[in-house]
């Protein structure tokens, strides 16, 4: 049987090999999207995400921002318009100038994507890449072997985790999950009670959000809040996972989704306050891009008596 000539010739066929790997991973992502009832192709997600974040854009602006060809953008946009996910309008005197924006259906599809597709793929790819080290070709081989053992869609499905957005029916979960970890390690402060007993008034209505993670067979097991503290400024707070769900990586799954949600909300500064006793949580924060910051401690650390750790999110 013929060997894998693309892999055997190493750097010579690196572009072909990377394209093959990308197509393989995108095929798995498409399966996850299809299971969520979405007709979106993985290659279309960057376009949708860009338009959602920036608002109406032309084909030329999209191509320039993403660094891809205009014909490629045009093909994808034609399909997205056909699916009803993108609206196209002609503006100004030059009727050839087309402005593209998300339709209501597109906004709804992105909401489902960010709740049911993106967190799972993000977590699955992170786990796939975590053990990698050494030269690039060796890392690619390791990814290929790992995908042979278990494709990306199966890795995403095996997580058994789902992100939920806040509604008032989850207020009790928000209180109880946070009460469990705080009372186990510390003591409840008045600042804790104010937020835990009034999540809508203290977090959601002033412009923040609260996410939950649901584990298959266990129900809602974790929560994390984004509290708006100024223009483009959010505190990541009240993150906890029930002891009964530990070991399922629910905390990492939830934190990745919360960071992504903060970006969607326009966070320019994302920070958190903690305590050295929370060693496992601090290690997770560091792993996902938070760094210790003296300015954050100076500006916000007095909010909690127990605060002796302040961190700011700095994406790689």
Tens digit of pLDDT at every position of the chain (316 positions): 568 899 998 899 999 999 999 999 999 999 999 999 999 999 999 999 999 999 999 999 999 999 999 999 999 999 999 999 999 987 666 556 789 999 999 999 999 999 999 999 999 999 999 999 999 999 999 999 999 999 999 999 999 999 999 999 999 999 999 999 999 988 888 989 999 999 999 999 999 999 999 999 999 999 999 999 999 999 999 999 999 898 889 999 999 999 999 998 999 999 999 999 999 999 999 999 999 999 999 999 888 888 999 999 998 7
pLDDT of residue 269: 96
* Same fold: 5-158 with 161-313: no
- Vertex 257 angle, CA 246 and 86, to 5°: 150
Cross-sheet strand order for the sheet of 161-165: 161-165, 209-215, 219-230, 233-241, 269-274, 309-313, 290-292
pLDDT of residue 91: 67
5-158 maps to which CATH number?
A: 1.10.10.10
CATH 1.10.240.10 for domain 161-313, yes or no, is no
Q: What is the pTM of this model?
A: 0.85
- Enumerate the β-bridge partners of residue 287: none
Let me know if 213 is exposed, middle or buried by CB neighbors in 10 A (0-12, 13-18, 19+): buried
pLDDT of residue 97: 73
DSSP sequence for the chain: ----HHHHTGGGGHHHHHHHHHHHHHHHHHHHHHHTT----GGGHHHHHHHHHH-SB-HHHHHHHHT--HHHHHHHHHHHHHTTSEEEEE-SS-TT-EEEEE-HHHHHHHHHIIIIIHHHHHHHHHHHHTT--S-HHHHHHHHHHHHHHS-HHHHHHHT-EEEEE--GGGHHHHHHHHHHHHHHHS---HHHHHHHH-HIIIIITTT-EEEEEEETTTEEEEEEEEEEEETTEEEEEEEEE-GGGTTS-HHHHHHHHHHHHHHHTT-SEEEEEE-TT-HHHHHHHHHTTEEE-HHHHHHHGGGSTT--EEEEE---
pLDDT of residue 315: 83
Counted residue by residue, the chain has a size of 316
Per-domain residue ranges for the chain?
A: 5-158, 161-313
Residue 197: both structure tokens together: 């007993």
pLDDT of residue 105: 97
Strands 309-313 and 290-292: antiparallel
Residue 278: both structure tokens together: 């929370």
pLDDT of residue 2: 67
pLDDT of residue 246: 84
């Amino acid at each position: 049987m013929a060997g894998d000539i693309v892999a055997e010739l190493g750097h010579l066929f690196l572009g072909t090999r990377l394209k093959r790997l990308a197509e393989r991973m995108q095929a798995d992502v498409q399966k996850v999207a299809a299971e969520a009832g979405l007709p979106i192709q993985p290659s279309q997600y960057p376009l949708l995400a860009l338009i959602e974040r920036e608002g109406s854009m032309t084909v030329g602006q999209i191509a320039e921002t993403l660094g891809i060809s205009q014909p490629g953008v045009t093909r994808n946009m034609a399909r997205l318009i056909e699916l009803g996910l993108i609206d196209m309008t002609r503006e100004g005197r030059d009727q050839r100038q087309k402005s593209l924006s998300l339709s209501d259906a597109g906004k709804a599809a992105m909401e489902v994507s960010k709740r049911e597709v993106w967190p799972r793929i993000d977590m699955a790819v992170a786990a796939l890449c975590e053990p990698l080290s050494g030269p690039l070709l060796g890392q690619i081989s390791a990814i290929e072997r790992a995908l042979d053992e278990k494709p990306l869609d199966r890795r995403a499905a095996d997580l058994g985790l789902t992100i939920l957005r806040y509604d008032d029916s989850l207020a009790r979960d928000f209180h109880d999950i946070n009460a469990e970890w705080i009372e186990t390690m510390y003591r409840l402060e008045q600042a804790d009670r104010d937020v835990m007993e009034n999540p809508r008034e203290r977090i959601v209505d002033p412009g923040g959000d609260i996410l939950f993670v649901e584990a298959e067979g266990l129900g809602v097991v974790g929560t994390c809040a984004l509290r708006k503290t100024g223009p483009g400024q959010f505190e990541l707070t009240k993150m906890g996972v029930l002891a009964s769900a530990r070991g399922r990586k629910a905390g990492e799954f939830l934190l990745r989704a919360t960071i992504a949600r903060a970006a969607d909300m326009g966070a320019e500064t994302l920070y958190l306050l903690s305590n050295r006793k929370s060693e496992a949580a601090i290690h997770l924060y560091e792993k996902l891009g938070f760094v210790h910051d003296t300015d954050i401690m100076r500006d916000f650390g007095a909010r909690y008596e127990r605060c002796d750790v302040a961190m700011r999110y700095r994406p790689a």
